């Protein structure tokens, strides 16, 4: 047996054990969840489901639900991690939401991934699933005229089980907390700008996932530490199986074939974008809170500086900022692709 083949088999075994470890972690972490309202009996066999962990998102949730309902979502499964702003009561009242709660550590649950993976394991098997944060709005080729069902039908017809998206950090023109925003408003009514010319792609082995960085957060907050800037690649849409696992949030997956979202057997699949609505006016207040909680990032010193900068109410706009105009504009900039979906 050649040395190359031995190394290949060792890598495959290591990744398999890693995947199994994450699945076992999720099954163990289910003990931290308590059901608030369980409407999963309503879920139909072929429905596309949304999963996510939230904390204090009452400003975004009304629009988030409306946005995805318009794309064809009929059931949402959320974990609430200690909200105190009315988010939990709001979600519990929604007839198409199932809700769990926990006060356990967000960081020690792999930033909520363990909790969501348990729900995916129990309720997502065999479904197309969207795993999202409350500040993420998915856009994809033809989304103004086609539904998520149209997209998943195309993916299935081409033997694909995953769909990639790049995060686009949207921001206002002017200091972020000087804007006017009310709960239920469309975040895009004030978050109209993004950085379109500083996105970097790097393929990582042995996972075969693309590591994407750049955008406004890198330009403003991580210019001196580019490699530590936030990761922008995500795999939000997956035809789920109990054999699957998220490795690093939704940035990469196992088995590794699920990471081939920009190249599939020599063909270019369609890809999308997640419009990231992080920079609403509340960001300055939330930054102070999250710096104190220390639940979001492992590199606390680096991100303490990040939170301090956000708390100073920055103006993120610059002369090269691009005004968001839709998915075709993103395609022209190379940020998403219609691929073989005409």
Q: At what angle do helices 283-293 and 300-311 cross, to 10 degrees?
A: 150
What is the average per-residue pLDDT within 319-340?
96
Question: At 302, is the pLDDT very low, low, confident or very high (cuts 50, 70, 90)?
Answer: low
| 8 A C-beta contact, residue 240 and residue 125 | yes
| CATH number at 3-332 | 3.90.550
- The rounded distance, in Å, linking the Cα atoms of 148 and 97 is 18
Confidence band for 312, pLDDT divided at 50, 70 and 90 = confident
Kindly indicate the confidence band of residue 268, based on its pLDDT and cuts at 50, 70 and 90: confident
**140 neighbors 336 (Cβ within 8 angstroms):** yes
Residue 5, pLDDT > 80, answer no
Residue whose C-alpha is closest to residue 205's, from 5, 14, 2: 14
Averaged over 246-265, what is the pLDDT? Answer: 91
Asked if the peptide bond before residue 186 counts as cis, ω within 30 degrees of 0, the response is no
Q: DSSP of 193-241, one letter per residue? A: EE--S--EEEEETTTTEEEEE-HHHHHHH-TT-GGGSPP-EEEEEEE--
How would residue 306 be classed by pLDDT, with cut points 50, 70 and 90? Answer: confident
Q: Where are the domains of the chain?
A: 3-332
Shortest CA distance to 314 belongs to which of 237, 238, 216?
216
3-state secondary structure of 33: coil
Q: Does 161 score more than 80 pLDDT?
A: yes
Taking only the tens place, the pLDDT of each residue in 178-235 is 999 999 999 999 999 999 999 999 999 999 999 999 999 999 999 888 888 999 999 9
Residue 293 has a pLDDT of 62
- Can you give the pLDDT at residue 168? 98
What is the C-alpha separation between 125 and 244, in angstroms, rounded? 9
């Amino acid at each position: 047996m050649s040395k190359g083949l031995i190394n290949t088999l060792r890598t495959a075994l290591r990744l398999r054990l890693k995947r199994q470890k994450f699945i076992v972690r999720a099954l163990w972490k289910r003990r931290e969840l308590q059901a608030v309202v369980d409407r999963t009996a309503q879920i139909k066999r072929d429905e596309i489901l949304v999963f996510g962990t939230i904390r204090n998102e009452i400003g975004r949730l009304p629009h988030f639900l409306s946005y995805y309902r318009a794309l064809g979502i009929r059931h949402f499964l959320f974990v609430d991690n200690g909200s105190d702003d009315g988010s939990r009561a709001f979600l519990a009242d929604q007839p198409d939401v199932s809700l769990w709660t926990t006060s356990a550590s967000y960081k020690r649950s792999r930033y909520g991934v363990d909790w969501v993976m348990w729900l995916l394991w129990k309720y997502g098997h065999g479904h197309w699933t969207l795993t999202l944060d409350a500040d993420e709005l998915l856009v994809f080729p033809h989304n103004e005229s086609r539904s998520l069902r149209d997209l998943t039908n195309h993916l299935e017809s081409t033997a694909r089980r995953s769909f990639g998206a790049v995060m686009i950090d949207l921001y206002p023109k002017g200091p972020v907390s000087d804007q006017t925003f009310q709960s239920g408003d469309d975040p895009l009514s004030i978050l109209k700008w993004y950085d379109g010319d500083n996105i970097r792609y790097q393929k990582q082995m042995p996972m075969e996932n693309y590591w994407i960085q750049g955008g406004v957060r890198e330009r403003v907050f991580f210019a001196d530490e580019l490699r530590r800037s936030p990761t922008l690649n995500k795999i939000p849409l997956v035809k789920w199986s109990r054999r699957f696992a998220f490795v690093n949030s939704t940035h990469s997956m196992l088995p590794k074939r699920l990471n081939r979202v920009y190249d599939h057997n020599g063909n270019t699949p369609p890809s999308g974008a997640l419009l990231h609505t992080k920079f609403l006016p509340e960001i300055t207040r939330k930054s102070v809170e999250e710096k104190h909680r220390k639940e979001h990032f492992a590199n606390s010193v680096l991100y303490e500086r990040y939170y301090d900068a956000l708390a100073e109410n920055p103006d993120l706009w610059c002369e090269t900022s691009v005004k968001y105009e839709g998915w075709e504009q993103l395609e022209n900039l190379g940020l998403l692709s219609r691929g073989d979906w005409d």
